[in-house]
Structure 1
Amino acid sequence: MTVRKWLSWFGKTLAVGAGSALITGLFLTRATLTSPSEVLVAAVSYAWFGLLFGAVSQMGLFAFLWVQRLGLGLVRRPFVWNGFLLVLVAVAFVDVAYLRHAAFGAGEPLLAYFALPAGVLAWAVAGAWWKARLTHRRAFVPTLFYLFAGTLLEAVPVLRGDNPVQIALMLIPLLCCNTWQVLTLHKLTGSEETEEAKRRVSLGLGAARPRRG
């Protein structure tokens, strides 16, 4: 990956964050915006927040790639490492529901608090499935972990509160940015089936499948 490619990729990630935050924010708060000036101020604010979320997403991805490389270097068996990632996904799923219920759900059924992690997990499964189709099936579990556990970790500041609008305003752009990055990462690192590409497959990063014909 060259610096030029990375800058272009980073800029597009920021654009995804700004656009998704802008659309999400204006949609969720449309009833409270009563004048063009309020709409303009809100739009600028949401776009700015989206840029910040895009930067957070980029840092989260590189942190995950470092952890992925370190974990596989220590374990040396991808199926063991993937099993560990799946356990962490399950723990994160239960913890998000349980901790939020303990903090905000007095007198409410616990089951209702599984809706948020279930929605994120459904998105993560779809993204991981698509990443596996674009690259290699070994990319499924690492991508699932990153899109689910990584996104929830990045969204911890709003998950500590109980404001649905704030949660959606941060969580949706993060999901969009994280998905965009993980689905396009292999395009930056090359699509030819070289030894380096094979090594990335073994790391679960997923080199692109060679074209046929």
Structure 2
Amino acid sequence: MSIRKWFYLFWTTLLIGAGGAVIAGLALQTVNGRIDFKSVADFWLYPLILFGYGVLVSVYAQLGFFAYLILNYMGIGVFPRKIWQYIQLVLAVLALLELIFLRTFVGGDRDVISDLVLGISILLTALIVTYFKVKSTNASAWIPTFFFMSAISIVEIIGVLRIGVDSATVFIVVPLVACNAFQILMLHRVLKPAAG
């Protein structure tokens, strides 16, 4: 990957994260009925803060993406390719089960519905992104893409899950998952050698 291609991926992912945060933040405020701008400055300042927050989330998502690429590279080097795929699949399923069920059983007073909705949302998003990735590349991308979109995304949102506030979870999950989906779907295009 050249610097120019990495630069393109970096800046486009920043914009995806910023846009996702603005959309999620404004949608949350609209749903909660709390949009109350006192002045024109507030009208411009709030989306600007959301934009900056989305940029930070996108950088965090990019760190997770590159950490996954290193993990995948090491996994292929340590395990035979078929076994590494099974390991990724098992870890993805365990991460989803932990998100949906284990936190509720261990946490005690956790809200079962919010964990279930979050887990199913991540599962459906992972399946949709995986479908498009396989359609644009080949069937061997199925397990790595599903693992990245489910297990790695869940690991990335652990911090906000500990807060236990649903609006905070939505506020970070939307831009982060959008960034992850964009990065994994763009990877093969960025790595494709230039036509010469």
What TM-score do the two structures reach when normalised by structure 1?
A: 0.83
Q: How does 1:17-166 map to 2 (within 5 A)?
A: 17-30=17-30, 31-35=33-37, 36-76=40-80, 78-102=81-105, 106=109, 110=112, 113-166=115-168
CA distance, structure 1, for counterparts of residue 110 and residue 5 of structure 2: 52
Shift of 1:73: 1.0
> How far, CA to CA, are the matches of 2:44 and 2:108 in structure 1?
36
- Percent identical among aligned pairs is 28
Q: Does the 8 A contact of 1:14 with 1:55 survive in 2? A: yes
Give the 3 Å change call, closer, same or farther, for CA 96–107 of structure 1 in structure 2: closer
Q: Which has the higher contact order (CA 8 A, sep 6+)?
A: 2
Post-superposition Cα deviations, 1:6-45, rounded to whole Å, max 9, x if no partner, equal 1121000000000010011011113212124433232112
Q: What SS class does the counterpart of residue 164 from structure 2 fall into?
A: coil
Q: Which structure 1 segments of 5+ residues have no match?
A: 193-213
Q: Which amino acid aligns with 2:159?
A: P
Name the counterpart of 2:173: 171
Higher helix share: 2
Q: Aligned partners of 1:164 and 1:107: how far apart in 2? A: 11
Instruction: Identify if the C-alpha distance between structure 1 residues 107 and 131 changes in structure 2 by more than 3 Å, giving closer, same or farther.
Output: closer
Unaligned runs of 5+ in 2: none
**Counterpart for residue 204 of structure 1:** none
Relative distance call for 1:38 and 1:104 in structure 2 (3 A) is farther
Per-residue CA distance 1:55-75 (angstroms, 9 max, x = gap): 111111111111111111111
Q: 2 CA distance for matches of 1:112 and 1:5?
A: 38
Aligned-residue RMSD, C-alpha: 1.9
Question: What is the CA-CA distance between 1:49 and the residue it aligns to?
Answer: 1.0
2: CA distance between counterparts of 1:161 and 1:99? Answer: 16
Deviation, 1:84, is 0.9
Sort the Cα spacing of 1:86 and 1:11 in 2 relative to 1 into closer, same or farther, 3 A: same
User: Which residue of the partner structure matches residue 201 of structure 1?
Assistant: none
